[in-house]
């Protein structure tokens, strides 16, 4: 099938309906303060299990992109980011709403999100296939090092201490070993428990680790009785398009930055938004306006965070290493469907990948009318949904969704226990993302490590097997860089401050 064929396959009424439904559902969940884009994808994912992989991917991509955009509503109108990726949107979005430009800020955010989403998806369309060709030359040891690179990057980039991130990653890797070993059939790390014999089901674990801590915190505090800033009537589309055209370089730069940040494993929309915001501020001639309602601030953040959607799919689909936390959930869902991501996906299952990419582009374009309409007519009703109905609804969705994966009550119990564990660990600065990535990358890392070990031991050259191949050495250098760069940067900063003080 050629490009046109894939495009037409993405434009079937069924796929258009999925894209519309996904964007609406994602935008609604993302706009609710406290619920993240990862959670939106995780709780809605069980609906995709009975679908064809390409259709499931279109729906998941649409939910994801809608949720990232949805976070802007609360950021602009409530000064509370609906999702963490909209943190930097509050800096200028809320001041705009306070001076009566909330409607303009929402339209600008929508246009910027569409621009960012399109740039990310186009990068995915044009960059992923050549990268997949390069990745075809990777052997098991390279995949092992790539998995470790993903784990070290997420440990370095996730909140808190690097060592805590690495401990979480190791814990996730150990969780992935639980159950019957694939090759030797040894029963591992079950400690006599029949429940653990089947191993930890990845998506149930993700639902637990990402959704239960949010619910636990939501139930512990009263409703905030949110006061939505009054917005004037209208979309102000012409004005917003005019402003967007004038800051086209800001939009382009932020979208590219967002895509590049999305490609880094573990670095999601929040980092992309903050990086793009600071870059927009640094390069602006009106730096003093930032933080006081500068439209460029909203545009930079919103274009960058939506660009991470396409960017994050690049390592997810090419290497099987999730770029962002929602990608981790989507990767888990694909594994349930029997689709193994990696370079072969592009050659053996081109119909899945390319139909999905066109579907993602379609969903991104549809976000413009849908986002504007929801922001204009439905946002006030969505954001005032009482917590007493929101929490049980999400809790019920986690129960039914987890059960549906393997029809297993044990999975539901494990999901809840892991969720509580995630919440407890989070209280002490251990982020959930390294654990999740460890769990997902466990099988890739183990396969590569064991094969490399066996070959190296047989050739009596373990060192050469792991450190003697050019690509492995390159990836290993990146691992060292990701491990030590935060330390070097902080030392450099301290030194610079001391020099400045002198």
Partner 1 sequence: MPTEPQSRDTGGMIVAAIFILIGVLALWDTFDYTDADSFVFPRTVAAAMIVFCIGLIAWSLAHPIDVGSRRAQSTPRRVGLVTAMLIAALLMPYTGFLLSGLLAFAAIVWLAMYDPWTRGRLIVYPLVGSAIVLGFYFLFTKVLLVPLPTGRLFIG
Which residues bind to partner 1, rule: CB under 8 A?
Answer: 46-47, 49-50, 161, 163-164, 166-167, 170-171, 173-174, 177, 181, 183-184, 186, 188-189, 191, 212, 215-223, 386-393, 395-400, 403-404, 407, 409, 412-413, 416, 419-420, 425, 427-430, 445-446, 449-450, 453-454
Using the minimum distance from each CB to partner 1, give the nearer residue, 76 or 394. 394
Contact 142, 449 (CB under 8 A): no
Q: Which residues of 79-96 are buried (b: 16+ CB within 10 A; e: fewer)?
A: bbbbbbbbbbbbbbbbbb
Using the minimum distance from each CB to partner 1, give the nearer residue, 327 or 446. 446
Q: How many CB atoms lie within 10 A of CB 167?
A: 17
Contact 301, 273 (CB under 8 A): yes
Using the minimum distance from each CB to partner 1, give the nearer residue, 47 or 328. 47
- Residue with token string 């297993």: 408
Using the minimum distance from each CB to partner 1, give the nearer residue, 211 or 271. 211
Cβ 326 to partner 1 shortest distance, Å: 21
Q: Element (H or E) spanning 447, and its range?
A: helix 432-458
Give the helix ranges, DSSP H, for 79-139: 87-98, 102-135
Contact 89, 71 (CB under 8 A): yes
Cβ 497 to partner 1 shortest distance, Å: 16
Using the minimum distance from each CB to partner 1, give the nearer residue, 186 or 348. 186
Q: How many CB atoms lie within 10 A of CB 227?
A: 9
Using the minimum distance from each CB to partner 1, give the nearer residue, 181 or 252. 181
Cβ 194 to partner 1 shortest distance, Å: 15
Using the minimum distance from each CB to partner 1, give the nearer residue, 127 or 391. 391
Contact 295, 247 (CB under 8 A): yes
CA dihedral of residues 359, 361, 362, 363 (deg, nearest 10):
90
Q: CA triplet 399, 385, 229: central angle to 5 degrees?
A: 140
Cβ 180 to partner 1 shortest distance, Å: 10
Cβ 302 to partner 1 shortest distance, Å: 29
Cβ 191 to partner 1 shortest distance, Å: 7
The alpha-carbon radius of gyration of the chain (Å, integer) is 22
Cβ 181 to partner 1 shortest distance, Å: 4
Cβ 424 to partner 1 shortest distance, Å: 8
Using the minimum distance from each CB to partner 1, give the nearer residue, 102 or 266. 266
**CA–CA dist 230, 103 (Å, integer):** 9
**CA–CA dist 426, 433 (Å, integer):** 10
Contact 306, 120 (CB under 8 A): yes
């Amino acid at each position: 099938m050629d490009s046109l064929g894939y495009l037409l396959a993405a434009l079937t009424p069924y796929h258009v309906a999925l894209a519309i439904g996904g964007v609406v559902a994602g935008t609604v969940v993302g706009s609710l303060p406290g619920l993240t884009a990862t959670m939106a994808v995780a709780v809605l994912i069980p609906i995709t299990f009975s679908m064809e992989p390409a259709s499931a991917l279109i729906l998941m991509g649409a939910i994801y992109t809608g949720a990232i955009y949805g976070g802007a509503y609360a950021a602009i109108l409530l000064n509370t980011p609906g999702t963490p990726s909209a943190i930097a949107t509050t800096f200028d979005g809320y001041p705009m709403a306070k001076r009566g430009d909330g409607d303009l800020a929402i339209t600008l955010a929508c246009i910027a999100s569409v621009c960012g989403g399109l740039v990310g998806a186009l990068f995915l369309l044009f960059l992923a296939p050549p990268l997949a060709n390069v990745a075809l030359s990777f052997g098991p040891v390279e995949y092992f090092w790539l998995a470790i690179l993903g784990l070290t990057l997420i440990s370095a980039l996730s909140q808190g201490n690097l060592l805590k991130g690495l401990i979480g990653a190791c814990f996730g890797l150990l969780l992935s070993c639980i159950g019957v070993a694939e090759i030797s059939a040894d029963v591992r790390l079950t400690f006599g428990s029949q429940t653990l014999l089947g191993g930890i089901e990845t998506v149930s674990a993700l639902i637990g680790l990402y959704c239960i801590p949010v619910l636990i915190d939501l139930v512990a505090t009263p409703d905030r009785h949110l006061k939505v800033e009054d917005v004037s009537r209208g979309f102000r589309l012409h004005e917003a398009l005019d402003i967007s055209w004038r800051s086209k370089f800001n939009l382009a730069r932020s979208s590219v930055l967002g895509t590049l940040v999305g490609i880094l494993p573990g670095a999601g929309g929040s980092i992309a938004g903050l990086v793009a915001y600071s870059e927009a501020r640094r390069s602006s001639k009106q730096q003093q306006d930032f933080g006081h309602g500068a439209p460029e601030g909203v545009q930079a953040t919103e274009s960058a965070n939506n660009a991470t959607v396409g960017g994050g799919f690049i390592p997810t689909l090419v290497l099987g290493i999730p770029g962002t936390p929602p990608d981790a959930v989507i990767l888990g869902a694909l594994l349930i469907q029997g689709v193994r991501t990696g370079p072969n996906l592009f050659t053996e299952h081109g119909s899945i990948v390319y139909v999905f990419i066109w579907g993602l582009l379609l969903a991104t374009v549809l976000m413009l009318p849908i986002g504007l309409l929801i922001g204009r007519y439905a946002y006030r009703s969505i954001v005032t949904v009482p917590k007493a109905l929101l929490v049980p609804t999400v809790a019920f969705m986690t129960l039914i969704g987890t059960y549906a994966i393997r029809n297993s009550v044990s999975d539901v119990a494990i999901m809840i226990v892991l969720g509580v564990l995630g919440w407890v660990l989070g209280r002490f600065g251990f982020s959930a993302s390294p654990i999740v990535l460890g769990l997902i990358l466990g099988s890739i890392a183990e396969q590569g490590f064991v094969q490399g070990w066996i070959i190296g031991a047989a050739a009596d050259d373990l060192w050469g097997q792991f450190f003697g191949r050019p690509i492995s050495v390159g990836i290993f250098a990146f691992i060292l860089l990701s491990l030590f760069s935060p330390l070097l940067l902080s030392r450099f900063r301290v030194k610079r401050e001391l020099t400045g003080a002198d």
